Amino acid sequence: MIFDLQHLLASLSGVIVGFVLGLVGGGGSILAVPLMVYVVGVASPHLAIGTSALAVAANALSGLASHARARNVNWRCGGMFAGAGVLGALGGSTIGKAVDGQSLLALFALLMLVVAFFMWRGRGSEGIEGVVCNRDNLPRVLTFGAGAGLLSGFFGIGGGFLIVPALIASTSMPIGRAIGTSLVAVSAFGMATSLNYAASGMLDWPIAIAFIAGGVIGTVLGTKASGRLAASKGTLNALFAGLIVLVALYMLARSVPALIG
Full DSSP string of 190-238:
HHHHHHHHHTTT---HHHHHHHHHHHHHHHHHHHHHHHHHTTSTTHHHH
pLDDT at 125 (0 to 100): 55
Which residue would you say has higher pLDDT here, 173 or 29? 173
Q: Is it the case that residue 70 has pLDDT exceeding 90?
A: no
pLDDT at 119 (0 to 100): 65
169 — pLDDT class (breaks 50, 70, 90): confident
193 to 46, 49, 142, 187: CA distances (angstroms)? 11, 9, 19, 10
Residue 73 domain boundaries: 5-260
Give the span between the Cα atoms of 115 and 109, in whole angstroms: 10
pLDDT at 208 (0 to 100): 93
Q: Indicate the pTM of the whole model.
A: 0.77
- 28-48 residue pLDDT tens: 667 788 889 889 989 888 898
Which residue would you say has higher pLDDT here, 155 or 80? 80
pLDDT at 213 (0 to 100): 92
Share of the chain above pLDDT 90, in %: 23
- 184-201 residue pLDDT tens: 998 898 899 899 999 999
Q: Is it the case that residue 161 has pLDDT exceeding 60?
A: yes
Q: How many domains does the chain have?
A: 1
The count of C-alpha atoms lying within 13 angstroms of the C-alpha of 142, restricted to the half-sphere facing its C-beta, is 7
